[in-house]
Structure formats: structure tokens, C-alpha cells
Amino acid sequence: MGAMGTRLTGLDAMFLYAETDAMPMHVALCAVLDPSTVPGGYSFEKMRQKIDERVPLIKEFRRTVLEVPFRVNHPVWVDDPQYDVAHHVHRAVLDPPGDERQLAAFVAEMAQHRLDRGRPLWQFWVVEGLEGGRIAVVGKVHHCALDGGAAADLMPAFFGIEPDPPPIEAPEVDPALRPDDLAMLSTAVTDRARTLVSAAGAVPHVARALRTIVTRRSETDTSGGTPLMCPTTPFNGAITSRRAVAFGRLALADVKAVGRAGGATVNDVLLATCAQAFRTYLELVDALPEEPLVAAVPVGVRRNEDRGDMGNKVSVMFVPLHTELRDPAEILQATVRDAEAAKREHAIVGGDTIMRLVELADPLTLPLGTGVYSRAGLADRHRPAINAIVSNVIGPPFPIYLGGARAERLYPMGPVVEGAGVNLTVMSYDGHIDIGLLTAAVLVPDPWVVTNRLPGALAAIADAVAADTAGS
């Protein structure tokens, strides 16, 4: 749209349309930092200035989302003439002792509030008072602006590889001025007609892909997960806005060692470890189903030429989580088998198919539908579409710094959705796997029960795989 702004894709816009008071649609990151490395010493004002200096590297951080008249097409990004960093970077102080659970409670409180659509869709908090003199920077960005891959690509804009990086030069960015309603309406109608014609071809493709998957499943013993046919668990049901958050950490070397011994990828090992921890939780609340859970696992489909771009380039595959199995070695073997089947089925559907399909979403009726669904609590009245979301983001393998402060941990978090109140996101960072577990508190009020069991679950899988290897 040139100077009139950039239109959101259907997938980006879907995260706006799906949002309700009970279901804010932002991604979040909690970076625990050591401020002793800040050149000249830490202060909140200095940290906010450092963040503000880097905002121009991400044009969407100075733009707002503008709806098209009568919602005849998806919204557009336009420049915010009122942009002020004071609206976006805030200071908070934890009460003593400032431990990890207090930090998680702060993040949960932050996560349950929607971002103001009248301003650029991001906010950071610099949190002081953590144990050991640490600070944290807690940020949230609306999902319409980025997915996990874009979030990882975004990190170099704010984080450097040294405490005192050289000054940055902001790139030249074309202005995205607010257009008049008539010009915006005219362009929106033309664009909508073009994208609908292009997207319509995805419908018969999906039908053919589903027939192929059904045939393949009948001919083999393996399959991915089946959405809409999931067991009912305490993870599932109607949600409210209240959130609970817990953190965890695993050693990347330990995860890789289990993978080598068990013939599994890092992702397979993490999925199996999650299944073990989820099983323990479900046993504790006496609600362990006899069939496996189904996890929605986001899959990045970002091409090399898309690197550094904001927006969503993501698909999803459905993977069984074998909570019904007791033996950790069996859980890993079943996960390797079924995750591979899920990848094959995802390839049959096609990585860009979801992005094409959601272009058909109606900007007028879809937000009304999601609002009614949420207010009526309809997620309590049918089998879950999925049981949980489990996401894996590749982070930097070396130490990074924000405003001169060394990042010690990077806890990522994604949103929960109506009907599935658990989102476990992991990010690799500097030899570790950092884990952020965000839940709908009405369904899972104490997610620490899960994250505290992840190290033991990984150790149990390692021991079981080692025993199998020794016995074979």
C-alpha cells in the first residue's frame, strides 16, 4: 500500500480477530539480567533510553493497527504520530526477597491484560528487586506482529553480543501515513477480491490432503495427532483472563545426549519430557486419560528471504503426547515414531496452506463469533480441539546483553486459547533450554507442578534409554 501503510496478512489479522478479554493474543519474553555488566552502572532511565534507541529497527513498534471502514478487509499498519517510549517501557519493583515465583506472578499479571489497540502493540517492564541484585525485562508483543521465528529474529534489534555495542543506524523506512477512509476502502475492496481468488484454491487442496492422510493411516501403524478428537483433561475448557506462569530450565547437553542415545531429535526429547511431566500432573489430580494427549506444535515456515521480517510465517502440526504410557523409554520411542508421522502429515497438507486458508476469514463476522464463543463458555461443551500448545524456539547459543546487562535466562511464553489452557514454550540459550509455561489459572492454577518435574522427567528418560541400550 506504499505510503498508506502495509496490510496485515490473513494469518496476522486472525490473531486480532480471535482476541477477547479472556484470550489476549500476545507473545511474551521474560529476560533475567545481570546489571553488573552495564557500562557505567545500571539505571532504569538508561535502560529505557537504550531500548528507545533501538525501537526504530522495528517499524511495527512505532505503528498502530488501523481498521478498514466496514471491515471489508484486514487492517493496515500506519505510523503513530503520538508515539512516546514512556507509554511502552515501564518500571516495576518486586517486594523482597524477589524470588523466581514472585517474578512469575508479575509476568502472569502482565500477561492477562490486552494491549491498547490505540497504540503500537508492545510493552516492556524493567523489573527491579530480584534476588542477587538481578533485574528482569518482561515484554509482550501482539501476535499479529510476530511469531516465534520473528521473535527470535527480533532479538538482535534489542540484544547485543557485547555489553557496550557501537551506536546503531536506523534503516530508512517509508512513511505509513493514515489514509483517508475513501482511499482505504477502495484499496481494501480491490485487495480483498484478489486475495480471495488466490486463497480459494486452498480449500480443495485441504480436502485432497485429508483424504491422503486417512489412506496412509489405514496402511501404516503410525499417525500424527487428530485435532477435535482429543481426550478431555483438566487442561481443557472455557478460560478466563487470569493467568498463571512458571519457569524451568534444562541443560541442552543433557537433552542432546538423550537424543543421541535414543535416536531422537532435540524436539522429540522435549516432547517426551513434557509428556512425562504432564502425566505426573494428571495423575496428581486423578485425571489421567487412557489415550494420548494431542499437542499443537507450531512449525515455522519462514524462508531465508523472510529473515528479519515481522509478521507470522507459521503453520502447525499435531503430535500425540504419550501420557498414557508409564515407561519413559516407551514414551520416547512412541514420540519419535509419531512426531515423524506428524511431520509427514504436515508436509502433505503443506506449510503455507494455513496461511492461504485464513485469508478467507471474514474481518466482520469472525471477531463477533469469537466473542460469543468466549462469553458463552462454549469450550466446556465439546471435546477439545487440542489439549495443549508446545512450542520450541531456537535462541542464541552465546551470551547476549540488553542495555549492557548480561542475559542469564530467557523465558519465552505464548498465549493460551479457549478450550486449551496450557502453553509450554521452550527456547535454547547459551547451553540451556529455558522454559516458560503459561496457563489459564482457572484450569491449571499451579503450573510449577509441571515445570518442577521436567528435570526429573528428562533424567528418567535418560536412565531408561541407557538401561535399554545396555540390555540390548
**Closest residue by Cα to residue 284 from 107, 163, 101, 450:** 450
**Among residues 88, 143, 322, 432, which one is catalytic?**
143
Q: Cell numbers 541443560 correspond to what residue?
A: 251
Backbone angles phi, psi at 462, to 5 degrees: -60, -45
3-state DSSP of the chain: CHHHCEECCHHHHHHHHCCECCECCEEEEEEEEEHHHCCCCCCHHHHHHHHHHHHHHCHHHHEEEECCHHHCCCCEEEECCCCCHHHCEEEEECCCCCCHHHHHHHHHHHHCCCCCCCCCCEEEEEEECCHHHCEEEEEEEECCCECHHHHHHHHHHHEECCCCCCCCCCCCCCCCCCCCHHHHHHHHHHHHHHHHHHHHCHHHHHHHHHHHHHHHHHHCCCCCCCCCCCCCCCCCCCCCCCEEEEEEEEEHHHHHHHHHHHCCCHHHHHHHHHHHHHHHHHHHCCCCCCCCEEEEEEEECCCHHHCCCCECCEEEEEEEECCCCCCHHHHHHHHHHHHHHHHHHHHHHCCCHHHHHHHHCCCCHHHHHHHHHHHCCHHHHCCCCCCEEEEEECCCCCCCEECCEEEEEEEEECCCECCECEEEEEEEECCEEEEEEEEECCCCCCCHHHHCCHHHHHHHHHHHHHHHHHHC
**Closest residue by Cα to residue 392 from 280, 274, 311:** 274
| 346 belongs to the catalytic site | no
Our CA dihedral for 44, 45, 46, 51, rounded to 10 degrees, sits at 90
Q: Rg for the chain (alpha carbons), in Å?
A: 22
Amino acid at 324: E
Instruction: Give the residue numbers marked as catalytic.
Output: 143
